[in-house]
Each structure stands twice: as structure tokens, then as C-alpha cells.
Amino acid sequence: MKTLTHEQKQNYKQCGGIRCPLCESEDIQTNGRENDGAEEYVNVSCKVCHAEWEDTLKLIDVELLAWGDSR
């Protein structure tokens, strides 16, 4: 399996995951999600260089925006 360099991973995270970590194109798409309760895994691919990778997302906080009905 090929791996990304530390620098490629840092650049990808710093741009918010909106560009391909290899060719830096913004022409990327998500191809499905999985959730194991603690983390969510998103399959992503680049339409330019055809690279495929998986984003790992974690819930780190929650903010209440409005109170619900207390019925």
C-alpha cells in the first residue's frame, strides 16, 4: 500500500480536505461513508489524477443551537 508523506497529510488537513493530497486539484468527490460509532470513514477520489483515499473523521465537540420541546 502506498502512503502519503507527513507533509502531504499536513497540507491536506490544513486546506480542510478540499484538495487532492497528491495533485492538489479541487476536483474531488466522496464515494461513500462508514461509521463505527467513534469515527466516520469517508472514501474520496480525485477526478484529475484518479487517486483514492480515506478520510477519518471524529466527533470532537457538540454545541446546542436551540432547545427542543420539553414535552
d(CA 37, CA 44): 20
pLDDT at 71 over 70: no
The per-residue pLDDT for range 36-58, each reduced to its tens digit, is: 988 999 999 999 999 999 999 99
d(CA 39, CA 12): 19
The per-residue pLDDT for range 1-34, each reduced to its tens digit, is: 789 999 999 999 999 999 999 999 999 999 999 9
Q: Could you give the percent of the chain with pLDDT greater than 90?
A: 83
d(CA 6, CA 3): 9
| pTM of structure | 0.80
The three-class DSSP label of residue 21 is coil
